[in-house]
Amino acid sequence: MNYQTFFQNRPTTEIAQDLLGRMLTYHGIGGLIVEAEAYLGKKDFAAHSYNGRRSPANEGLYCEGGHLYIYAQRQYFFFDIATQEKDVPEGILVRAIEPKIGIEAMIKNRSGKTGPLLTNGPAKMMQALGVTSRKWDLANLADSPFEIDLAHKIIPREIIAAPRIGIKQADSYWAKAPLRFYVAGNPYISDMKKKNIQENNGWVLTK
DNA sequence: GCGGGGATGTACT
DNA sequence: GTACATCCCCGCA
């Protein structure tokens, strides 16, 4: 399966859940995706493409499935992947990974931080991977140093759907919509409490 | 372990 | 000038 097929032809919420447990790498370092949020186009009040808003800054959302939307807020970067066909501005924000490959490099990129602090948030994850620019914004995933393993995945014991983080419009339907998906009990989820961490980090045990 | 607040870049009014 | 799909540090427990 290629990226375009994976990121099209089914609802964005379904794609977001299918990303959990897959390996994401950048120049060969990375880990398993454990948390992702869906943003659902023109009707989604919380999305950058709300009401058809479109400019060079958010053009990535309008690209066809499998292209990157990398964007800066304050001094931090966010990693999104566009879904659906061209001109349909839906996408998925990858919020957190469980580090697996190149952990030493990630610790260095995060100036000595270890454990969940390495990657349990979108900007932390980008720092750990060493992404410090929007260079790959609008690129096709297949032509970028980013890689997602579509051939293998680890199965979460349970996927939780919850409201997205950092959405301020508290009175809006969209602020509360359960469009954030994560692996129950995984320590690398944003704001995960220690007591809620589950055996095997929430993955189904494999022989 | 928690809660509050400041730092800070970019796009848009 | 203002609003943000955030992070970190600092108090106080």
The CATH number for A121's domain is 3.10.300.10
Per-residue pLDDT band at A183 (split at 50, 70, 90): very high
A124 falls within a domain: yes
Q: pLDDT for A21-43, tens place per residue?
A: 999 999 999 999 999 999 999 99
* Number of domain units in chain A: 1
Per-residue pLDDT band at A168 (split at 50, 70, 90): confident
Domain of residue A128 covers 3-202
A68 falls within a domain: yes
A110 falls within a domain: yes
Measured from Cα to the C1' atom, the residue closest to B8 is A74
Strand B nucleotides, any atom under 7 Å from protein beta carbons: they are 1-2, 7-12
Q: Is the pLDDT of residue A169 over 80?
A: no
Nearest nt to A195, CA vs C1'? B1
Per-residue pLDDT band at A74 (split at 50, 70, 90): confident
- Give the start-end residues of each E strand in A41-105: 68-73, 76-83, 90-101
Average pLDDT over residues A77-99: 97
> How far from chain centre, in Å, is Cα A140?
16
- Provide the mean pLDDT of chain A: 95
Per-residue pLDDT band at A58 (split at 50, 70, 90): very high
The reply to whether the CB atom of residue A175 sits less than 7 A from any atom in nucleic acid chain C is no
Strand C nucleotides, any atom under 7 Å from protein beta carbons: they are 4-8
CA angle, residues A182, A154, A131, in degrees to nearest 5? 65
A175 falls within a domain: yes
A33 falls within a domain: yes
Q: Which pLDDT score, from 0 to 100, does residue A205 have? A: 83
Per-residue pLDDT band at A167 (split at 50, 70, 90): confident
Please, is A183 exposed, middle or buried when counting C-beta atoms within 10 Å of its C-beta (0-12, 13-18, 19+)? buried
Q: Is the pLDDT of residue A81 over 70?
A: yes
Average pLDDT over residues A119-140: 96
Q: How far apart are CA A192 and CA A149, in angstroms?
A: 25
A207 falls within a domain: no
Q: How far apart are CA A4 and CA A83, in angstroms?
A: 8
A36 falls within a domain: yes
Average pLDDT over residues A138-155: 97
- In chain A, positions 130-149 with C-beta closer than 7 Å to nucleic chain C are none
Q: Which pLDDT score, from 0 to 100, does residue A171 have? A: 62
Helix (H, G, I), strand (E, B) or coil at A65: coil
Strand B interface, protein residues by Cβ within 7 Å: A 53, 55-58, 72-75, 193-194
